[in-house]
Structures are given as structure tokens and as C-alpha cells.
Amino acid sequence: MRDPLTDCSYNKVYKSLKEFAQNGDNFCKQITSVLQQRANLEISYAKGLQKLAVKLSKALQSTKKNCLSTAWAWASESMKSAADLHQKLGKAIELEAIKPTHQVLSMQEKKRKSLDNEVEKSANLVINNWNQQIKAKKKLMMSTKKHEALFHLIESSKQSMTQKEKQKLLNKLKKSTEKLEKEDESYYQKNMAGYSTRLKWESTLEKCYKDPRLVPRSQSSRN
């Protein structure tokens, strides 16, 4: 019996969508990494400018006020203003771009895990039932062979058997028939359960791959 999960179209679509979603996650993570480096550079540059502005201001304290010292004082204030702008830009990038993206990715990851767990549970039920069907089929085939062998034995040797021997074999054949009927019914029920389980699994896959939570909004809108 072939693995029921292999050729299922829903399973293929779901796997493709998961790969698509993972690519979206990777893209967002790379973008946030770049933005974080940019924010770090802005903040680091702001700190450097601030230190230089303070250093320049201290140097001007021991200098007589004239047009030259006034110009350098203006340069110091200009560096402080630039430092403040770069500091604000770095913080803005962190608060308005990096933090929201991390929150979305974290939320999407939790939701996808929930969907994946649901799919995995239903898939495991399909596989378990599939294994049960294989065992039941092998058992049924073995019992069928034994039953047929017993039947042929009775048919081929009924002329040479005593009535007692014949009755003994007939009783054995009756028990074999009853056993065969039970195993055949068991195999049938497992097949019906397998059909029902597979439908539930496919329904779960369909529901999950249609669920917008599987793909981040940023990724779905980008495509």
C-alpha cells in the first residue's frame, strides 16, 4: 500500500505555502537585520558627534570670546543638533520599523505553529490508520490462505476420511470461516476509518493553507 500522504494535492500545496511563508520570514528577518545595523550606526554616530560637541565646548570655555570662538561655538551647537537628529532617527527606526516587524513575525510564528500542530496531528492519524490497514490486510491474506488450504484438504481427501475425521475438519473449517469473516470485517472497518481520517486530514490542510495567518501580511502584500 502506498503512503497516503505522498501524492495528496492538498499536502503539496500546504508544503509549498509553508516554504513560501518561510521565505517571507527570512526576507523580513534580513530586512530587520539591515535596519538594526542602520539604527546602530545612527545612534553610534550621534554619540560620536555629541562627544565631539562637548569636547569642543570645553575647549571654548578657556578661550576669549571673539568672532572665531563664536563660529566654533556655532559649530559645536550644530554638531549637538545633528547628534540629536541622528539619535532620534536611530530610535525611530527601532520603534517604528524593527519592533513592529519583530512583533508581527513572532505572532505569525506562534499562529503557524498552531496550524502545523493541527496538520501534524491529523497526518499522524492517517499514517497510524494506514499502518493498521497494512497489518489487517496481511493478517487477512494469511488467514485466507490457511482457510483455502483447509478447504482444499477437505475436498481432496473427503473420500478417504472417516465421518469423525471429516466432522472434525468441518468444525475446524467453520471456525476458520468465522475467523475470516471477523478479520474481513475488521479490515473493512479500518479502510472506512482510513477514508474518514483522510478526509479530515485533507479538510484540515485545506483550512490551514487558506488561513491568512500562515503568511505574514508584509509577505502577502509584497507579492
Share of the chain above pLDDT 90, in %: 37
Q: Which residues contact 203 (CB under 8 A, 6 or more apart)?
A: none
User: For position 141, what pLDDT does the model report?
Assistant: 92
Q: Which phi and psi angles does 211 have, rounded to 5°?
A: -70, 120
| C-alpha torsion 101→102→103→106, nearest 10 | 120
Tell me the pLDDT tens digit for each residue of 137-165: 999 999 999 889 988 888 888 777 788 88
> Which is more confident, 50 or 169?
50
CB 151 within 8 A of CB 158: no
Binning pLDDT at 50, 70 and 90, where does residue 218 land? Answer: very low
Q: What is the mean pLDDT of the chain?
A: 86
User: For position 113, what pLDDT does the model report?
Assistant: 85
